[in-house]
Structure 1
Amino acid sequence: MAGSLKDQLLKAGLADADKAKKLDKEKRKVAKIARRSGVELVDETREAARAALAEKARRDRELNQANNSKALRKAINAQIKQLIETHKLPKSRGDIGFNFTDGKKVKKLYVTSIEQKQLSAGQLVIVRQGDQYEILPHPVAAKIAERDSDRVIVCRDEDAAALSEEEQDWYKDYEIPDDLMW
């Protein structure tokens, strides 16, 4: 078995002996300079600095993305607030307590009889603004729901619409009075 790759190339006639000696001399010279000047440490330092810059750039991108999403959320909240302020119905101190659920809590809002019928029919919708509740027309509430669906409180009884035909026939003989409050 032959020695190094250099020896094999020389024996095969694919490399020139003078050229091989020059390359060896150059290689030793570069290694000697590197040992004296500590180039290896500089390369490691350079790599560490490059890695630190890459990590900083990644963190900056994440921070910018978080700031952008925060600004977008703030802009959406401002749009919702403006929609509510411009389209909310005036708070008339109605005499009928309209109960609705917000999450797992039952809340009560006093409304007039007309507002109660419109809320039950789905023409009006209750929207949460901070810790307050406002009544809005359904088209405006749909625009708000596009931006943040958690703020819109559906007041219609969708369970009755979801009843099967057989279940609806079961209750057809019983009339629900208009003044029924829960």
Structure 2
Amino acid sequence: MAKANPLQEQLLKAGLVNKSKVAAAAREQNKALHAKGPTGPSEIQIEAERARAEKAERDRALEAERKAQARVAEMRAQARQIIADKKVPRTGESEYRFTVDGVIRTLLVNDDLRKKLSAGVLVIARVDDRFELLPRPAADKVRERDASMIVLDHGQPAGSEAEATLSDDDAYYAQFQVPDDLVW
């Protein structure tokens, strides 16, 4: 055993401590003298932590994108369901022509449906490659979910974006009203 300090020897003789307590105190002192100070994290640990943080950030971004795509798909499905439930049956032999993506499309309608389309009471919506007639309240619900499905709506407010882009020629010809019931 190492040489004990004089205070420890006096405490042992007085019977205030036992040998095991003296030995434990000596070990603690020795450990405190020879112990290394706390070291900072190594470069490998820092790199691993940074990689974990980057992976967690990528995972969060991917999850957010996945949720956004799922939300868009859900909204589109809701719009399709509204169109399927609220579509107006088309009857008639009169052709109603309208343009979609620069292509002229045709629907067969009767005079009553033509008047409702012209007045904006009915709206034309696209589902895949089909076109359906919808009443305005249902069209508004579809527009909230996916505005690209509405292809023709004569009931839009007068300050729509189409009028905002009128050229000088268009502004001149705007004073000549074309009847809504014109069949072309």
Q: TM-score range by the shorter chain?
A: 0.5 to 0.7
Larger helix proportion of the pair: 1
Pairing of 1:41-52 with structure 2 (within 5 A):
43-52=42-51
**Corresponding position of 1:105:** 103
Q: CA deviation at 1:157?
A: 8.5
1:90-169 matches, cutoff 5 A: 90-92=89-91, 94-156=92-154
2:118 and 2:154 in contact (8 A); partners too: yes
RMSD over aligned Cα atoms: 3.4
C-alpha distance in 1 between matches for 2:153 and 2:36: 81
Q: Which residue of 2 aligns with 1:181?
A: 183
Q: Does 1:74 align with 2:76?
A: no
Change in 2 beyond 3 A, CA 1:30/1:53: same
| 2:83 aligned partner | 84
TM-score w.r.t. structure 1 length?
Answer: 0.65
Kept in 2, the 8 Å contact 1:100–1:155? The answer is no
Partners in 2 of 1:97 and 1:113 — Cα distance?
A: 10
Equivalent AA in structure 2 for residue 64 of structure 1? E
Which residues of structure 1 form unaligned runs of 5+?
Answer: 1-25
Give the direction of change, closer, same or farther, for the CA distance of 1:138–1:118 in structure 2 (3 Å limit): same
Q: Choose between structure 1 and 2 for higher RCO, CA contacts under 8 A separated by at least 6 residues.
A: 2
| Aligned-partner Cα distance in 2 for 1:95–1:114 | 12
Aligned residues: 142
Deviating 4+ runs (over 2 angstroms):
154-158, 160-163, 175-178
Distance 1:144 1:64 in 2: 27
Q: Distance between the aligned counterparts of 1:88 and 1:53, measured in 2?
A: 52
Gaps of 5+ in 2: 1-32, 167-171
